[in-house]
Amino acid sequence: MQSIINQLAAELQQSPRHVAQVVNLLDEGNTVPFIARYRKEQHGSMDDQLIRTLSDRLHYLRGLEQRRQEVRQAIQAQDKLTPELSAALDSAATLAEVEDLYRPYKQKRRTRATIARERGLEPLAVTLLAQSPKSPPPRTLAAEYVNPGQGVDSPEAALQGASDIIAEMLSDNAQLRKELRTLSQCRATLTSQAAAKEPEDSVYRLYYAFSAPLSKVHGHQVLAINRGEREGVLKVSVDMDRQDALATLRQGVVRGNTPSTQLLNAAAEDAYDRLIAPSLEREVRTCLTDQANEGAIGQFALNLRPLLMQPPVKGFVTMGLDPGYRMGCKVAVVDATGKVLATTVVYPTRKDRGKQAAIKTLSALIRTHHVSHLAIGNGTASRETEQMAVELIAAVGGGVSYAMVNEAGASVYSASKLAAEEFPDFDVNLRSAVSIARRLQDPLAELVKIDPRSIGVGQYQHDMPQTRLGEALEGVVEDCVNAVGVDVNTASAPLLQRVAGLNAATAKNIVAYREEHGPFTARKQLLKVPKLGPKAYQQCAGFLRVPESPSPLDHTAVHPESYPAAERLLTLCGCTMADVEGGTLPDLPALLHQYGLEQAAQVCGVGVPTLLDVAGELMKPGRDPRDELPPPILRTDVLDIKDLKPGMELKGTVRNVIDFGAFVDIGVHQDGLVHISQIADRFVNHPSELLCVGDVVTVWVREVDPQKRRISLTMRRDQLIP
């Protein structure tokens, strides 16, 4: 175990002591958000993402160690485990290296080499491999193994069988495979071409004659090529210089010029062409795909985090519009808390009469319910609905604004069991309108109801390992929910179950308890909830807010175990709980620095990181970290793609960040692409270095193609096309 701790510490550049303590905390069943927030002294203030990375690597390294022991036992059972082989197993750094070492001892299907061994030709193969300069010619050696009864009719047949054995031995040589794998990673190329002689224009046209070194091929290219191959549009291969590979093989096998040199060279060629090259190509393709998947999953998670953490538009009555043609535009008005006030369906796309009728109906709803904002889904017919919304705002005399809302996953939610339980009397389509309105009011609270894989901020997400993708995205959702905190008296069960330490059952029990007994008035009441025991309470308490509690500490992210420390801190600074409630506290962190952090922490009975966290929470009880981010763009007018001209300056919202750039919503229904080369006037490895989903950015139009609905944008004014 210590070797795993040391390896993790080296990889993550963290103290072995801190890594060991995180491992212990994870093994004890603590959640990542709890560890990251409330055990900082034990792990040196690692953030939640780093702790998740540590957890993932810990799982892999433990799996590697388990497989290493399984292989060792399997070889030991054959009485073939040598000290050298045992040491090689100990030093194997990957599962691939462990499997390479096990390959010679693994039970195989019946091969040409197996048949040759059955015919008693292995001693001949061993003699030929020994390459003694004084050895007789191979044909002379082979004559001793002629045995028609065993199917060896001639010296040539004996030599062929021995060559088959040698070829398999070379293929099973772990060191040679490692060298060839390294060679392929350095020098091989990934090549794709059109499967048809005269291919049609398609999304894969860039890959009809594509070739790139493995070391330089991008993840999105690998995923696109894989999909094109699955669809039968592309033919794909991994090409490596055969002579370089054979030179590596011969260098590892052939020693000088002996009677068996020619036969060994031929066996090496056979081993490479028949056994190694196909296997190596499969390994390389799998490795490329795994790396591309991990990169894409990482990017998806990176995009999901800011999407979930978008600032809410709180305290306003909101109208949600789910656009559509045949089924019309579904409408839902919700109050400031998300409660549904009214629903209807209008048909703004049915010529001018339909639009005017829609404006009349919606104007009445806006006036009746004092609607402040319109949330418009960005799907089918959203352009026409947006144009109608501008006319609607003018008709009611202003005072209303609108925002385009990413409706990805809304239809999935509206047809789900959860939506049916929440709105049993609503039509499926009306449920999506409610969801769209609530997404503007509080994106996090609404998006947690949807499988994060259905939220379209990734690339090729349907091609990725769904279990791995789901785990990564669920981790992001959990981190975001716990970073914001949850009001225990208003949160839905789906939101509560994302809180650290809670699950679907305990979340439903919390909702049932408050429905039966009324709102919670203290955190400690959570211990009365069925099936919510001390361990779950420890994990969840700090992330649940109780605004109805008379204790200000229950409104904050201060954990109950730190309440005594918070009270000592206030006493130390000459303050009271009344100052916390009234917002009249002095600058506690500044006072602590004057007093001395270490000394203050000792007085309060906690570590310095916890003390500073407590001070920060007391300064801003119940604060929402999302409020510090740029608010979403609320519009009152609309542009058409035909209105765009090169050089036009616009404000936009980043909707998706991918390997080759970012898509930005500039209010024309069609997102524009900022290519990676147009993001900054310096080299950028990946767009995520500078951009996040939800960022509000200034862009300039470079090119517009209204027919293909393509918009090219730049964030570099100097790159405008004259």
Arithmetic mean of pLDDT, 172-187: 90
Q: Which residue has the higher pLDDT, 132 or 366?
A: 366
Strand 672-675 to 710-714 pairing:
parallel
Whose structure tokens read 């389509």? 429
In the predicted structure, residue 320 carries a pLDDT above the cut 70: yes
Asked if pLDDT for residue 488 goes beyond 70, the answer is: yes
Q: pLDDT of 45-58, one tens digit each?
A: 899 999 999 999 99
Min mean pLDDT across 64-68, 157-161, 349-353, 541-545 is at 349-353
Q: What is the pLDDT of residue 631?
A: 75
Tokens of 164: 């088959």
- The fraction of the chain above a pLDDT of 70, given in percent, is 98
Question: Cα(377)–Cα(354) distance, rounded to whole angstroms?
Answer: 19
Which residues, 6 or more positions from 347, have their beta carbon under 8 angstroms from its beta carbon? Answer: 328, 329, 354, 357, 358
pTM for this entry: 0.78
Domains present along the chain, CATH in parentheses: 2-105 (1.10.10.650), 144-299 (1.10.3500.10), 318-441 (3.30.420.140), 641-719 (2.40.50.140)
Would you state the structure tokens that stand for residue 642, as one six-digit string?
């035909």
Instruction: Report d(CA 416, CA 413) in Å as an integer.
Output: 5
SS3 content of the chain, % helix, strand, coil (to 5): 55, 10, 30
Which pLDDT belongs to residue 638? Answer: 63
Cα–Cα distances in angstroms (integers) from residue 405 to residues 322, 448, 681, in the given order? 10, 16, 31
Helices (H) and strands (E) in the chain, counts: 31, 15
Supply the pLDDT for residue 560: 96
Instruction: Identify residue 427 by its one-letter amino acid code.
Output: D
Residue bearing tokens 């179950």 = 497
Q: Across-strand partners of 212?
A: 190
Q: At what angle do helices 261-270 and 242-253 cross, to 10 degrees?
A: 130
Distance CA 679, CA 661 (A): 8
Q: How confident is the model at residue 639 (pLDDT cuts 50, 70, 90)?
A: low
Q: What is the pLDDT of residue 155?
A: 92
Lowest mean pLDDT among 59-63, 328-332, 681-685: 681-685
* pLDDT category of residue 1 using cuts at 50, 70 and 90: low
CB-based contact 163:115 (threshold 8 Å)? no
pLDDT of 668 > 90? The answer is no
Q: Where are the alpha helices (DSSP H) in 400-498?
A: 410-414, 417-422, 428-441, 443-447, 466-484, 493-496
pLDDT at 633: 72
What was the pLDDT predicted at 416? Answer: 85
Please state the φ and ψ torsions of residue 264, each to the nearest 5 degrees.
-65, -40
Rounded CA separation 89/720 (Å): 58
Q: Is the pLDDT of residue 720 over 80?
A: no
Angle between helix axes 608-619 and 588-595 (nearest 10 degrees) is 150
Is the pLDDT at 334 greater than 90? The verdict is: yes
> Per-residue pLDDT for 722 more than 60?
no
Please state, rounded to an integer, the average pLDDT across all residues of the chain: 90
Task: Give the model confidence (pLDDT) of 84-124 as tens digits.
Answer: 999 999 989 889 899 989 988 888 788 999 999 999 999 99
Single-letter amino acid code for the residue at 71: V
Window from 471-485, 548-562, 634-648 with minimum mean pLDDT: 634-648
Where residue 307 falls (left for φ over 0; alpha for ψ -120 to 50; beta otherwise) is alpha
Q: Which tokens sit at 681?
A: 């006037």
**Phi and psi angles of residue 68, each rounded to the nearest 5 degrees, phi first:** -60, -45
User: Among all chains, which residue has been given the structure tokens 């031995």?
Assistant: 169
pLDDT at 458: 65
pLDDT of residue 718: 76
Counting every residue written for the chain, the total comes to 722
How far is residue 433's CA from residue 56's CA, in Å, rounded to a whole number? Answer: 38
The pLDDT > 90 percentage for the chain reads 58
